[in-house]
Amino acid sequence: MKQTDFAKTLTRYLTDFLPGQRNVSPNTIKSYRDTFKQFLAFMQEQKQTKPEKISFTSVTTANIKDFLQWLETAKHVSISTRNQRLAAIHSFFRYAQTENPEILFESQKIISIPFKKKQQQTIPHLSMDQLAYLFEQPDTSTKRGRRDLALMVILYDTGARVQELIDLKVCDVRLTKPTTITLTGKGYKKRNIPIMVKTRGVLESYMTENHLLNNGRQQSPLFYNSRYQSFTRPGVTYILNKYYKQAKLRHPEEIFPENLHPHMLRHSKALHLLESGVNLIYIRDLLGHVSVTTTEIYLKFDTEVKRKALEAAYPQVSNTETPAWEENTDILQWLQNLCR
């Protein structure tokens, strides 16, 4: 069967352009791939066009808009997910218009489809007390409990994304002073994260117990499951939720967020640093953000920082007492006394 122009371009985009020229992560490629899997399903179900028959003549601006509407109404995706799908489509058509100049006009119309605005929500995070309750839960008398504690402490102290934690190898850890952990972020960008003394103690004990400091273990995953394989995202989430449920049961007086996911520890680290007065530029570097604009989102939700900033800008108020209004006092006389 002869490949259509759309199939050829999409294949080159996913297998050559994204990994070879853009150097994006495998997870980003999977996300973009899933977008077009959904689009193909939409075209087959709603437009009665089989995947092998789809060409650029059928991928119109109207069909893309119908696809986005279908995602929200039929698949019940959030606005964030809808916008992520649209971002993938924008990226593809920026590439496609250079490979197929004849679709330039239609590509520009598709690229001009706007993202949908969404309501700004609060950033879910844990307070310092809630974090302490969470770290109390693993049974450190067992080997698994000590591993789980080390995993959670490293996830918080480094502000790592869950995939960055999963990808950690023994060679990424430096225990000699200054103690650092090297994280590999989006686009394979590396950053060195200093870790605290207490965290270093927990990590060194875990690595010693599991013989990870021995020669020949440098390429071993830092954290692994019972099959000696790297954790998966669901595996890390399961560990966190197990101890989170225990913490909520043992501390019913504390008002915890409804759910816990790995990224909440990253949010918590950023907000705790901000509350401590750490410069936003340092927090940007710690989190691996390309632009400080991304990091500035935390400023919007740090009420303590807002309060201190308002107090610093608040003018000194005179302590002189304002004369009280008396019912039978002459109004002119009262006004004259007001500013004395």
Q: Which of 161, 269, 272, 284 is catalytic?
A: 161
Q: Which of 200, 266, 272, 284 is catalytic?
A: 266
- Token pair 């002073």 is at which residue? 177
Four-CA torsion 159, 240, 181, 201, nearest 10 degrees: 120
Q: Which of 174, 186, 251, 261 is catalytic?
A: 186
Cβ proximity of 67 and 61 under 8 Å: no
In the annotation, is 289 catalytic?
yes
In the annotation, is 266 catalytic?
yes
In the annotation, is 161 catalytic?
yes
How far apart are the C-alpha atoms of 33 and 11, rounded to whole Å?
A: 10
Q: Would you give the end-to-end CA distance of the chain in angstroms?
A: 94
In the annotation, is 211 catalytic?
no
In the annotation, is 263 catalytic?
yes
Just list the catalytic residues: 161, 186, 263, 266, 289, 298
